[in-house]
Chain A
Amino acid sequence: MWKWLHPYAKPERAYQLCVTLQPYFLWPGILCLVIGSIWGLAFAPQDYQQGDSFRIIYIHVPSAILSMSTYTAMAVAALVGIVWQWRTAFMAMIAMAPIGAVVTFIALFTGAAWGKPMWGAWWVWDARLTSELILLFLYLGVIALYGAFEDKQQAGKAAGVMALVGVVNVPIIHYSVEWWNTLHQGATISKFDKPSIAPEMLWPLLIALLGLALFIAAVTVMRMKNEIIRREYHRPWVKALAAQALGDNHAV
């Protein structure tokens, strides 16, 4: 049943897949981010309590949701790498870690810039904020642990175990606003209920969410390509690739 998937464990096939997918992720992603931001910044109605400061939602919520999704995807890749011994799965894992860290940083930073005018503080040691900060440290830990090993198969296993153990933090972040009394508000859209937000405000948010998701996917395949080349740089197919890519650049 899953046999069609097996050729993609081969680095060269995985590389070709990344090359094919990259433009479909990158350009629609950027387009959706631009549309979502402009719509959210200029055309969505003002919040009746927060005025225009609520417009930070159009990056804060997508980045916060996707920081958790990216972590989950990274942990799935780690699991596949550990259980089925796929080298390419570990490459996917380490390709996702930096963009995941950047997205988590954005969620924390925009949260601080939203917290200052609304709560009166850039930072509070609230359950939601603290668990999201731990998520950032988990990403950085996976990157650092992977970098600490010379043998990249060993590095993948060690960082993979760390990524898997860290998954426990994802539900903690999600339910932190319900389990503890937090300054942070409860879920607005990521719940099994009607979103508690007006449709004129929700649409640009969903477009920004889709855009950031596609952007993360695009950066993942870009970095995945880099990981494959890093591990296969002595192979003939990489030589042909380098000659073609660098030759073209010289011609321009």
Chain B
Amino acid sequence: MQFDNLADFFAMGGYALYVWLSFGVSLLALLWIVLDSAATHKKLLKTAQSEQARQARIDAARKAKPINSESEQAGS
């Protein structure tokens, strides 16, 4: 260790503001990008699930009323 005690370490030879500002902002930026990526992943999986459930409901509704859909096709 280059510093005699913990207080010296945090003082950074008088450059505390600049050193800790640099390391702090960098840590926050890296943390943000990794958390954002993970949150987007979860959101996308949920969207995929609800979207596919919706599609399944549409398909089921179509199958349940074959006469209607046929008459619609005939009418169009």
Chain A residues close to B by CB (< 8 Å): 33, 37, 41-46, 51-53, 55-56, 59-60, 63, 98-99, 102, 105-106, 109-110, 113-114, 116-117, 215, 218-219, 222-223, 225-226, 229-230, 233-234, 238-239, 241-243, 245-246
A223 to B44 Cα, complex, angstroms: 11
Report the separation of the CA atoms of residues A222 and B38 in the bound assembly, to the nearest whole angstrom. 7
CA distance A99 to B1 in the complex (A): 33
Tell me if B74 is interfacial: C-beta within 8 Å of chain A: no
Contacts of A55 in B (CB 8 A): 12, 15, 19
Which one, A46, A106, A234, A242, contacts B26 given CB within 8 A? Answer: A106
Given A52-B13, A59-B26, A238-B45: 14 more A-B contacts, CB < 8 Å:
A33-B30, A41-B9, A52-B19, A53-B18, A105-B29, A106-B29, A106-B30, A109-B26, A113-B21, A234-B52, A239-B48, A245-B42, A246-B46, A246-B49
Interface residue count on the B side (C-beta < 8 Å)? 34
B3 and A242 contacting across the interface, CB-CB below 8 Å: no
A117 near B18: Cβ-Cβ < 8 Å? yes
Query: Can you list 5 A-B contacts (CB < 8 A)?
Result: A59-B26, A219-B34, A222-B34, A222-B38, A234-B55
